[in-house]
Amino acid sequence: LESLIVDSAALTSALDSRAPDVSALIHNVDLMMGAIGRQSASLSSALTELPGFMRTFNTTAVNLRSTLDDLDPLVNASKPVAKKLQPFAANLRGFANDAVPAIRDLDRIVHAPGKANDLIDLTRLQIPLGKIAAGPVVRNGASREGAFPATTSSLEGGLPQLAFFRPYVTNEAISGWFDDFSGVSGFWDANGGSSRISTTFNAFTLSTPTPSLPQLVGAILAGPVPINQVFDPINGLLQLNKRKRCPGSNERDPGDGSTPFTDHGTLDCDPTQVPTGP
């Protein structure tokens, strides 16, 4: 009894020394109990639904227990790796600190006050752009296919033309057109850069016989030449309709029949149409 009285006196003295804190505690407990009392209806509803929740959670907990058992091998295997990751985590902390300005700038790129000035606005613009790309869209009072279907149709329609031009890509004229829109792009051989030039006058070219150029010059100097002598299909000074030359026809045959290229006769070209000269 003496010990009880002594301890009670010590407790009373301790409480008296913390009287403001005890008063604040009692006041805060009073506020808490009042708030709980005002939510009595919600608490009653929660207590009513608690048994069903606990039954559902029981099933979840049972399944979670088996999941945790399955994770044990992963955790055990990760322990040695986790120790090795400590230096990486230390460096990652420094990287995270240095990345703060970049993240701040990225935040301004993603979202900024105003209109049409950030990534969110750009994403929203993709919706009408996607509709135009996929189609169909109504333009100029008519329903029209989208940009992607139109591009697909254009590429499919252009395949025959591309297939026709493909064998000619090594010719100077075609490569020059794609390269710099010049007449002859040239090529390289053992002596360096060089180009081959063939004399072509618009829709006609010099005839195949070698003396045709001197004949043409002499005819021009001598005076007017009858038109039938100029454009005669066999013996004329100028030849017409040289419009179906085969790829490589500007190159002279080295003797192995490799030029002009006809792809075993499958190309729609005339291998007899070659430039003037030996």
pLDDT digits (tens, 9 = 90+) for 238-271: 666 677 888 888 777 778 878 888 888 888 888 8
Residue 172 has pLDDT above 60, yes or no: no
Considering only residues 26 and 232, tell me which one the structure prediction assigns the higher pLDDT. 26
Instruction: Please report the pLDDT score of residue 182 as a whole number.
Output: 46
Residue 230 has pLDDT above 80, yes or no: no
3-state secondary structure of 159: helix
Residue 114 has pLDDT above 50, yes or no: yes
The Cα 215–Cα 23 span in angstroms is 128
Instruction: Please report the pLDDT score of residue 210 as a whole number.
Output: 44
pTM for this model (two decimals): 0.36
Query: pLDDT confidence of 152, banded at 50, 70, 90?
Result: very high
Considering only residues 271 and 275, tell me which one the structure prediction assigns the higher pLDDT. 271
Most confident of 44-58, 82-96, 124-138: 124-138
Considering only residues 16 and 124, tell me which one the structure prediction assigns the higher pLDDT. 124
The mean pLDDT of the chain is: 77
Residue 145 has pLDDT above 70, yes or no: yes
The Cα 230–Cα 237 span in angstroms is 5
* Phi and psi at residue 139, to the nearest 5°: -135, 135
* % of the chain with per-residue pLDDT over 70: 72
**Tens digits of per-residue pLDDT, 30-54?**
888 888 888 888 878 887 888 888 8
* Interior/surface letters 243-261, b for 16+ CB within 10 angstroms, e for the rest: eebbbbbbbeeeeeeebbb
Instruction: Please report the pLDDT score of residue 183 as a whole number.
Output: 46
**Tens digits of per-residue pLDDT, 189-207?**
566 655 555 555 544 555 5
* Mean pLDDT of all residues in 64-80: 84
For residue 32, the tally of other CB atoms under 10 A from its CB is 10
The Cα 254–Cα 248 span in angstroms is 12
Instruction: Please report the pLDDT score of residue 177 as a whole number.
Output: 56
The Cα 86–Cα 94 span in angstroms is 13
